[in-house]
Amino acid sequence: MSLKILLKFVIETDFNTDVDLHTLLIKDSYLCKLYCKNFNDYISYVKEKSKNWTQDIDLLPLNSCFSHTQNVQGRLEFLNTLINQNLWSLSDVQPIDFLYNILIVNSICEKDNLEFYEWVKRILKRSNNTDLEEKIFTLFSSKICKDQRSCKSLSIQAFESYLKVFLNLNQAKKKLKFSKIARENKLEISVFCTPEELLGFEILWKIIFESFSNDIMNKGIEIVHDIFTVTYF
């Protein structure tokens, strides 16, 4: 069964009214296991097929009529449905950790990294799930930004993903308040504690000043400047 057909089935099915179906797909984690296997098998297939491929990965002929990026995006959208409908039932594997291993640790190309961080930004924008935000924060602190070397190679998409988590969590803890000025594409921040008391401020600092990216340094220094100049005690 293709993920596209399965996605339609998942969206249209009321699992609460069918006990047997709920037990099979949710309680026994069949749906999540099927999803993980499908994604892992797909990545293995593309890695094997692209061994001697030197062109853009999206030009690689695949079994389907979709490009590699479209295949990845389809699987990310399926995962969004599982998360939004509270259908993720694997207690030993978190969605964010699964994607990190697939698209960052075992990435096929730079486009996989881009899709991962774009997915993080999108799901943070759509969801008010503090638990998910804390898991993403933990991933950054324990793996993505674990040392100086890790921070140096981060993309602007990775920085923007962390910045979103940083702002959301600190706003939830009433340590700061922020809003976006759409016309100027700029953030307006008010801080109600010392910068050092902000959750994850040391990681933000490390990303900005260890990065080789001018985009990250320019945007990051502007954010840090705002944090230090709009602090209220």
pLDDT for position 21: 56
> How many domains, the chain?
1
pLDDT for position 112: 96
Separation between Cα atoms, residue 155 and residue 216, nearest integer Å: 8
pLDDT for position 1: 46
159 in a domain, yes or no?
yes
12 in a domain, yes or no?
no
156 in a domain, yes or no?
yes
pLDDT for position 68: 96
193 in a domain, yes or no?
yes
pLDDT for position 17: 62
The structure tokens 């057909």 sit at 5
150 in a domain, yes or no?
yes
Query: What residue numbers bound the domain in which 143 lies?
Result: 128-233
**Within a 10 A sphere around the Cβ of 118, how many other Cβ atoms?**
15
pLDDT for position 67: 94
224 in a domain, yes or no?
yes
Q: CB neighbours of 14 closer than 8 A, spacing ≥ 6? A: none
Tokens for 178? Answer: 């922020």
171 in a domain, yes or no?
yes
**Splitting the chain (233 residues) into consecutive groups of 10 residues, what average pLDDT does each group show?**
52 58 64 90 95 94 90 92 83 91 94 94 80 90 84 90 93 92 76 94 93 92 90 63
- Identify whether the C-beta of residue 81 lies closer than 8 Å to the C-beta of residue 68: no
Tokens for 220? Answer: 């990051």
> Which letter does DSSP use for residue 107 in this model?
-
The predicted model scores a pTM of 0.82
86 in a domain, yes or no?
no
pLDDT for position 227: 92
Tokens for 150? Answer: 């890790």
Using alpha carbons, select from 66, 15, 71, 13 the residue that is nearest to residue 42: 71
**Within a 10 A sphere around the Cβ of 181, how many other Cβ atoms?**
9
